Amino acid sequence: MTTRTRREFLGESAAFAAAMGVAPMAFAQGKAAMTGRASKPLDLLMLGGTGFLGPHIVWRAQERGHNVTLFNRGQTGPDLFPDLELIEGDRYTDLSHLKSAVEEGRIWHGAIDTFAYVPSVVTDMMGVIRDAVQHYTLVSTVSVYADFGTVGADESAPLAEVPDDVAAGIKSHREVNEHYGAMKARCEKAGEDGMPGRIANVRPGLIVGPRDTTGRFTYWAVRGSEGGTMIAPGDPKDPIQVIDVRDLADFIVLAFERKLSGAYNAISPAGMFTIGDVVESAIRVGDAGTEAEWIDADFLAAHGVNGWQHMPAWISQSTPGYEGFGTNNCEKATKAGMTIRPMDETMRATLEYYRTRGPELVAERGEEFGAQWRQSVRGGLPKELESQVLEAWNNRG
């Protein structure tokens, strides 16, 4: 390791900017997406890195030539990155190995945290790493906002709140429930309090693409490949916003490299995609002769079909409190260098992951497990309910 003092290391921002070919002021307003390898390899501390988003960040950082150190429990995806250094620990219960590494002089250019849910846990992490990293990127969410009632809301919109006593009683990600957004907002503040001016709060919306096992967006890719008649919800012009996990990873690594600060809505620009685009892409990529039947939101609701739950990525703007759904302003992130790929690229990669990972799991863990995985990851509208609603729609008076 280098013999630089921490004071010297943490004061390198201006020199780092020059080495990267970026003016210091451009840290807050990067202009272009990154291509190829970085001009200078950096040291990255990855907090987590083995779930859905994390691996894509690690892969992107490696593509850029950076040196990645993982901090996690070593339990999820232990074979993903066998050649990377792992500092084993648990953000909730055991920071001892990370603390020891810092006490021994380990330093990194930045840390990226994909799993911040509890503000006190973020505070504890800050206590360990604040003098060992120049910059901290926290993956937050657009759910930090108080509501979706405002069209075109940007990063200055009011944030969700949770009473202090309720927040104090939440000890892990498993307990956030309906306070998810408010707790993420508190995590942002905890990070900023710990490393003022050295933190980027990246606020993605619905993250989609390969390795997604949530059963949300994947539904469209799978249903479009199954043939027959599929339900398409509401008006084809209804706005939706998503971000491909690979685009999000690119932007997060950009934030790390350029030391962005402040909050950024990381999601497709308002107006870029509609639910019509999603349905058309699913049918086109699925290439199974599937046809769409557009059914209005009120009819769907009357027959037990809910936006988001059954019709992923979509909520009717006629829903009270959701008048601004799908219209978040992400101009700040796009000016900083965030890019969004075409819908077909995301749809194709999502379907390919579903088609390849299912057979792999059958081979690894048996047909029963593979079938359960396919059903869970497909998600969305159950086939039986789809048939019932289509029949009711076709027989309406």
Write down all domains in the chain, each with its CATH number in brackets: 6-209+241-266 (3.40.50.720)
Length of the chain: 397
Query: pLDDT at residue 221 above 50?
Result: yes
Query: pLDDT at residue 34 above 80?
Result: no
Region 161-185 average pLDDT: 92
Pair of tokens at residue 208: 């989609």
The β-bridge partners of 263 are 201
Region 173-193 average pLDDT: 94
Entry pTM = 0.90
Query: pLDDT at residue 11 above 80?
Result: no
| Among 132, 181, 175, residue whose Cα is nearest residue 161 | 181
Give the model's confidence band at 21: pLDDT under 50 very low, under 70 low, under 90 confident, else very high.
very low
**Integer distance in angstroms from the first to the last C-alpha of the chain?**
76
**Given this model, what pLDDT does residue 17 score?**
38
**Given this model, what pLDDT does residue 2 score?**
42
CA distances from 110 to 6, 26, 91, 239, 327 (A): 13, 17, 17, 35, 31
* Whole-number average pLDDT of the chain: 91
Region 184-211 average pLDDT: 97
Q: 31 versus 125: which is more confidently predicted?
A: 125
Tokens 């497990």 identify what position? 369
Query: How far is it, in rounded angstroms, from Cα 378 to Cα 212?
Result: 10
Interval 278-306: pLDDT, tens = 999 999 999 999 999 999 999 999 999 99
